[in-house]
Amino acid sequence: MSRVQITTGSSQETEELGACLGSLLKPGAFLALQGDLGGGKTCLTRGVVAALAPQSADHVASPTYAIMNSYPGNTPVYHFDFYRLRGDDDIAELGFEEYFHGDGVCVVEWSERLEELLPDDALTLLFEYGEDNQRRITITSSGQKSDMVLEQLSETFKKQKKL
Ligand SMILES: Nc1ncnc2c1ncn2[C@@H]1O[C@H](COP(=O)(O)OP(=O)(O)OP(=O)(O)O)[C@@H](O)[C@H]1O
Ligand SMILES: [Mg+2]
């Protein structure tokens, strides 16, 4: 397990972080997005989709009512938002797990609600407000695949002097 903290100064920078991360992801990767309302989770997702399924990038919005939006591309992106799920909704019965280890990349807003359904090997991104338009994004990896992605991301950011 490792951890990297990145501060972005605008929604554009958060989207760029998403694109950089997206370009490193392989099918089966899982991004668990957590933290403040308006923290930038959907914004980062837009960047991930821009990297993996660019033809769909303009259409990224919180799938608040649908629970999941899918963006077809070379690597499809499955975008979930569990904000509106009630405590007694049984996520396991909704049948989403088949997506979690499938042909695409899963990006999940409010992944806290998944509890034990969260895959063991995932990148967790915690969004917190900073001053002005800053967002502090803490990325934690929890397995072999996600450790490798996080290592590549921090190498890229060090080269660009963003870390
Ligand atoms: N550094 C930043 N990174 C991301 N968004 C920013 C930043 N600074 C300002 N913003 C603004 O914050 C808002 C982030 O909204 P976004 O929908 O991405 O948040 P969210 O975490 O998905 O919220 P929700 O929990 O409601 O789904 C946007 O209006 C964006 O313009
Ligand atoms: Mg959102």
pLDDT tens-digit series, residues 99-138 = 988 899 999 999 998 888 899 999 999 999 999 999 999 9
Whether the pLDDT of residue 53 is over 90: the answer is: yes
Whether the pLDDT of residue 85 is over 90: the answer is: no
- The pLDDT of 61-66, averaged and rounded, is 74
CATH class of this structure's domain 3-87+97-159: alpha beta
Atom of ligand 1 at shortest range from CA of 40: 18
Looking only at the bridges linking them, the beta strands covering 123-129 and 30-35 are parallel
Per-residue pLDDT at 118: 92
Place of tokens 């490792």: 2
Cβ(152) to ligand 1 under 6 A?
Answer: no
Per-residue pLDDT at 89: 67
d(CA 98, ligand 1 centre) in Å: 29
Atom of ligand 1 at shortest range from CA of 8: 1
Q: Rounded to a whole number, what is the distance in angstroms from the first to the last CA of the chain?
A: 19
Cβ(7) to ligand 1 under 6 A?
Answer: no
- The pLDDT of 33-60, averaged and rounded, is 94
Cβ(37) to ligand 1 under 6 A?
Answer: yes
Per-residue pLDDT at 131: 95
What single-letter amino acid sits at 71? Y
Tokens for 16, please give them: 């760029």
d(CA 37, ligand 1 centre) in Å: 8
